[in-house]
A = this chain, B = another copy of it.
């Protein structure tokens, strides 16, 4: 049976047929692949059938149309359902669904990613899709001023993630009536019943208390679904909507309906045949729903990537904190590029993001103390073409590690800035000291990791970040240190600066950020003893300047002192040695100074000395390398 429905609102009889088709196709796709989640798809098939045919405004032939609604599967494991929808609207062929799902080299992956043009963000780590949707809804409501809605299908298990509540809290705070969450309450998680089961009242109480308009329905009653979606689609209120749909896992195939033990399991072939027969057989309906109302292009297109910004200028020798230079540079970028937006996690007066907030309040989003949502909001804004800079204390980016990782899978451009790094912060103690952030960010696929030592290089690198794809990270420093570079100096990503060099250097001192200053101090101490030391500012930790490092190794008989205000694992030291070892067979004599014990409070100076990162320790390490030659 092939029926093409081109009316803007398919009748419910057609919708019922479509729902059966989505179930059948979910079964066929997973059985053919030998893996995947048919039962988690079947519970939500009615919801999607009504949504896609009667409420979603989407031009399937132009997925980049700015007026399109957005559809996010926060329960990414229900990808068979999503891909079956793509087949039903005619953008994915049956052959691809049955032959490509979960196969090597194919785009219909186990969990959706933006490899598919109709997918905004990668999902599969639960509790993230709704949070990303908040970012898209922020863009729609406050920046693009588009009428699109953001529809997010959530699972009930993922509601246990705190990130869901961060998302709802922010959706209510920002009055995102353009955000609609549909929770597929099928009562069963992977290993058994969920915490709240079918206690829809309990869910409703929580959701309502968090400020959402809440609609509780039978998720298999097409009329009820239609009414709820119609209500939700009216976005004139000031609250997000959460539709709580009571559903049955495996709905439509009595053998598995509401039965534990069928999570993430495809049906064997004979069982799939029985299921398909019970569902009325294979169908090939082709349906299209509503198209979006055309709107003029938004300001999210065509502006330069920070190129025209007039960066702040600092006088060499003045003491300026790099975190301050971040705020200054961000304001400059904001002046030149309307696509630059900023977010912070309630510490903007420490990160200096508040400078941007004061200059461009309509392009600043306060995320309060919710780092997961901070990254997710930036992700959603990036999906809509904005150049989002997000900042907090560097230590607290660990809170959002999974979101950063998923951002890399989504392929979005995220610009993260972490202040208050390392033991240098002093009295606040170890909970506030980022000592693992460089390792974390280096291991993110395609990332760029920057750690400037002075205000001039910071401003230049913030500008460079605006044009950097993927996940970029800049680590700033709490204390004020001398400006080392004159205004206008270039700091290409992947470069470094050789601050001291002669033709008789005996050792190379490699630092980044605060340790550039202690390396310079060590070079001064060594110079007093007649020892010439080369000093390299590795402001670009990833990619790192392999050529300059190799030249330094050659010039100083392989003697390297690497000093980093970070744990010994995975940071600057690894970046340097990975680079040298990849390039050849270096004869290295290495002293790697890093934070190797648990710090307490103290002054930054005391703690840098305690960690062995001050000028005295660096000089001592250099002397020892030379002596033991």
Contact = CB atoms under 8 A, between A and B. Distances in A.
Interface of A: 33-36, 76, 102-111, 113, 115, 122-127, 157-158, 160-166, 169, 173, 189-191, 194-195, 202, 205-206, 208-211, 346-350, 354, 368-373, 395-396, 398-399, 401-402, 405-406, 408-409, 411, 426-432, 435-436, 439-440, 442-446, 542, 558, 567-571, 573-575, 577-578, 581-582, 585, 587-590, 592, 597-598, 600-603, 606-607, 610
Counting from the closest, the 5 A-B pairs by CB-CB distance are A162-B162, A124-B431, A104-B602, A570-B570, A110-B429
A578 B577 contact: yes
Contacts of A445: 435, 567, 597-598
Contacts of A158: 369
Contacts of A109: 429-430, 600-601
Contacts of A164: 162
A419 to B, nearest CB: 13
A8 to B, nearest CB: 34
Given A445-B598, A569-B578, A570-B574, A369 B127 contact: yes
A430 B442 CA distance: 17
B162 A602 contact: no
28 contacts: A102-B429, A104-B606, A106-B600, A109-B600, A109-B601, A111-B428, A111-B432, A125-B396, A125-B399, A160-B370, A161-B370, A162-B373, A165-B165, A191-B346, A191-B354, A395-B402, A398-B401, A398-B402, A409-B430, A439-B442, A439-B570, A442-B569, A444-B567, A445-B567, A569-B578, A570-B570, A581-B588, A581-B592
Given A346-B191, A429-B109, A432-B110, A162 B443 contact: no
A432 to B, nearest CB: 6
Contact of A585 (B115, B124, B398, B558): B558
A18 B126 CA distance: 47
Contacts of A444: 436, 567
A194 B581 CA distance: 50
A239 to B, nearest CB: 13
Given A398-B402, A443-B567, A110 B428 contact: yes
A346 B127 CA distance: 14
A237 to B, nearest CB: 18
A588 B558 CA distance: 13
Nearest to A434: B405
A404 to B, nearest CB: 8
Nearest to A595: B445
Contact of A431 (B409, B578, B597): B409
Given A161-B162, A161-B166, 13 more contacts: A35-B426, A104-B603, A105-B602, A106-B600, A125-B396, A157-B369, A398-B402, A436-B440, A436-B443, A439-B569, A443-B570, A569-B575, A577-B577
A566 to B, nearest CB: 8
Given A162-B161, A162-B166, A431 B443 contact: no
A83 to B, nearest CB: 12
Given A191-B346, A440-B401, A600 B162 contact: no
A570 B67 CA distance: 43
Contacts of A123: 431
Nearest to A445: B598
A18 to B, nearest CB: 26
A250 to B, nearest CB: 17
Contacts of A411: 598
Contact of A102 (B408, B427, B431): B427
A578 B585 contact: no
B161 A103 contact: no
B428 A439 contact: no
Contacts of A372: 162
A113 B427 contact: no
A162 B165 contact: yes
A81 B217 CA distance: 49
A104 B430 contact: no
Nearest to A609: B104
B354 A427 contact: no
A274 B532 CA distance: 55
A501 B233 CA distance: 68
A461 to B, nearest CB: 20
A17 to B, nearest CB: 30
A147 B360 CA distance: 54
Given A369-B127, A444-B436, A103 B592 contact: no
A582 B574 contact: no
A356 B87 CA distance: 43
A300 to B, nearest CB: 25
Nearest to A610: B104
A439 B405 CA distance: 13
A368 B440 contact: no
A592 B163 CA distance: 36
Contacts of A558: 585
Nearest to A405: B398
A162 B370 contact: yes
Contacts of A603: 104
Contacts of A122: 430-431
- Best-buried of A105, A126, A610 by chain B (most CB within 10 Å): A126
